[in-house]
Amino acid sequence: MNTRVISVRRDIQAEQKADAAAERERLGRRGTLVINLLSSPGSGKTSLLEATARHWAGRRSMAVLVGDLETDRDAQRLAPLVPVAQLTTGGACHLELPLVQRGLQALGDPAVDFLFIENVGNLVCPASHDLAEHLRVVLISTTEGDDKPGKYPKMFRTSQAMVVTKQDLLPHVPFSIEAVTEDALKIQPALNVLTSCAIDNRGIQEWCEFLEQQYQKKIESVYEPAGNR
Amino acid sequence: MHERSLVQTLLNQVQQIVADDGGGVVKEIQVQVGDLSGVEPILFESAFTELATECFSQDCRLVLDIVPVKAECRLCGQCFEVQDYEFLCPACGTGPVEVIQGDQVKLMSITVDSENLVSGAKS
Ligand SMILES: [Zn+2]
């Protein structure tokens, strides 16, 4: 038999990663910070975004791309507050960059300060897909196990921030913020840890301040204003 | 189960690379999967079995090489194997560490049978 071996040695996602890097650069240069929000289902991504939109109303511009398996319920909740586009994956477990780009086009590619991508509820698959975000934030609610970081290491390793949500339920659930923080910091020592409660607005101001700091750090250094148009 | 989409990406690349290299029947595809790649090897294998037979011959084999996670300390330069996903430098204990192996899915090599090549292909 006449066989030959072709040596390749290449990351199979190299092309997607390069596309994401180019899109990240484009959005950054025109002044948009992209935030990829990830969590298990029901951790409170939509509630956090509603609280964020209310906090910034009239002061900072934002838009949301909502990833969902089938329904548009989360998008309907956000629509009265901010520009929002629905990305339906048709049952797929994660979003990919072309879907995000289609969603941006659907919104008219607005030059907002903050673009949030609400990923589908899943801590495994979305970790492996770069959506051109400048910031990856993982949410964990107090109704989940505080040992989750160790179970989903890739997600926590690739995130820059963790928001513990539903802080108001702490007295009623076996969840320790110290334990989850310790577990997460072993995997990502540079992780920023925040806590929030969307019902009584606790932590929302700190969360928004954190995002503004990230904006200054990642966007203002590269931002090239379009000038007079 | 994003393994399906990763396998589809892989197979598209294999087709392209083999075509660019003169063509032939794909016999074996070697892939390196890191412990921090987010890929479940069993799911990857079953997605491969299902999708590869559509693209290639029935007897195209997948060889999966599972590699451990390795990191390098950016402060003191120490290279170490990451155990239990603890990303702390064992030498200085303080430095930020960078993953240098084990967070990717890598196409390593493709074995091609060129015996049954149609005429006109490059030698
Ligand atoms: Zn060190």
pLDDT tens figures, A191-219: 999 999 988 999 999 999 999 999 999 99
Helix (H) or strand (E) holding A7: strand A3-11
Distance B80 CA to ligand 1 centre (A): 10
Please determine, for residue A186, whether its predicted confidence score (pLDDT) is greater than 70: yes
A178 vs B: CB within 8 A: no
Is A164:A196 a contact under the CB 8 Å cutoff? yes
Interface of A with B in 77-116 (CB under 8 A): 92-94, 96
Using a 10 angstrom Cβ sphere, with 0-12 exposed, 13-18 middle and 19 or more buried, the burial of residue A228 is: exposed
List CB contacts (< 8 A) between B100 and chain A. none
Q: Cβ B110–A8 below 8 Å, yes or no?
A: yes
Mean pLDDT of A175-199: 95
Of A2, A6, A125, the CB nearest to B17: A6
Average pLDDT, chain A: 93
pLDDT the model gives residue B10:
96
Please identify every residue whose CB atom is under 5 Å from ligand 1, which is an ion.
B 73, 75-76, 78, 89, 91-92, 95
Q: What percent of chain A shows pLDDT beyond 70?
A: 97
pLDDT the model gives residue A225:
64
B21 vs A: CB within 8 A: yes
A188 vs B: CB within 8 A: yes
Please determine, for residue A154, whether its predicted confidence score (pLDDT) is greater than 70: yes
Helix, strand or coil for residue A186? helix
Total-model pTM: 0.92
B84: left (phi over 0), alpha (psi -120 to 50) or beta: left
Please determine, for residue A228, whether its predicted confidence score (pLDDT) is greater than 50: no
pLDDT the model gives residue A226:
58
Going from the C-alpha of A197 to that of each of A51, A139, A163, A207, B45, the distances in angstroms are: 9, 12, 10, 11, 42
Q: Cβ B6–A13 below 8 Å, yes or no?
A: yes
Please determine, for residue A127, whether its predicted confidence score (pLDDT) is greater than 50: yes
Q: Cβ B109–A9 below 8 Å, yes or no?
A: yes
Helix, strand or coil for residue A21? helix
Q: How confident is the model at residue A2 (pLDDT cuts 50, 70, 90)?
A: confident
Mean pLDDT of A53-63: 96
Distance B32 CA to ligand 1 centre (A): 27
The tens-digit pLDDT sequence of chain B (123 residues) is 799 999 999 999 999 999 999 999 999 999 999 999 999 999 999 999 999 887 776 789 999 999 999 999 999 999 999 999 999 999 998 878 999 999 999 999 999 998 766 544 444
Q: How far apart are CA B44 and CA B66, in angstroms?
A: 12
pLDDT the model gives residue B118:
55
pLDDT in tens, A75-99: 889 999 999 999 987 778 899 999 9
List CB contacts (< 8 A) between B75 and chain A. none
Here the ipTM equals 0.89
| Encoded tokens for A155 | 């997600």
Number of CB atoms found within 10 A of residue A119's CB: 30
pLDDT the model gives residue A9:
97
| Encoded tokens for A148 | 């989750």
pLDDT in tens, A21-37: 999 999 999 999 999 99
CA distance B107 to chain A (A): 5
Distance B82 CA to ligand 1 centre (A): 13
CA distance B18 to chain A (A): 8
Close Cβ partners of A17 (under 8 Å, ≥ 6 residues apart): A11, A130
B51 vs A: CB within 8 A: no
